[in-house]
Amino acid sequence: MHSARGWWYYYPVAFVVKTPVATLAALALAAALTVTFAERGGLRRLGGWRAVPFACWTMAVPPAIYLVSCLASHVDTGLRQLLPAYPFLFALASAGLFHRRWKGRPAVLGLLACLVAVETLAVYPHFTAFFNRAVGGPAAGRGTWWARTSTGARISRSSSGTWTSTG
């Protein structure tokens, strides 16, 4: 499957396969905690959406606009196009994870931090060839089920190129 115009889903897929699993888990956990807080009436008690601090809006709107513009882009050049959104996502995730107390927070956050460190150090020094363990690790860039899909092959070529690790 080839396209001269690119695919709208290229960047979401690249984000999911090139971001460490523990980072994805932390982002999902922060989103789940925030939604749970809102559903349990936390926003209503504080005064609705107007109670959300301006800082949260300034951290949420720019990456949302940027990510939507990436979806409309027809240039599939790898994860580097998404790098400007990561600091915003990390700040939002930390706000979601640390804003309220929840059972097991220290243990879960410690485990996630260790998992990110292990998954990242496992590819040292070939960080460009990184693929998370959910899709097969660095080997996903060459010869696995993931690389045989059209999107996987495109992401493998655009992100690892001549820097693909051998181990």
User: What averages of pLDDT result for each successive group of 10 residues across the chain (167 residues)?
Assistant: 69 88 92 76 63 74 90 80 91 84 88 92 81 78 56 56 39
Check if the beta carbon of residue 20 is closer than 8 Å to that of residue 120. yes
pLDDT at 164: 38
**What number of other Cβ atoms are within 10 A of residue 133's Cβ?**
15
pLDDT at 2: 53
Check if the beta carbon of residue 52 is closer than 8 Å to that of residue 37. no
pLDDT at 73: 81
Check if the beta carbon of residue 93 is closer than 8 Å to that of residue 22. no
pLDDT at 142: 59
Per the confidence metrics, is the pTM higher than 0.85? Answer: no
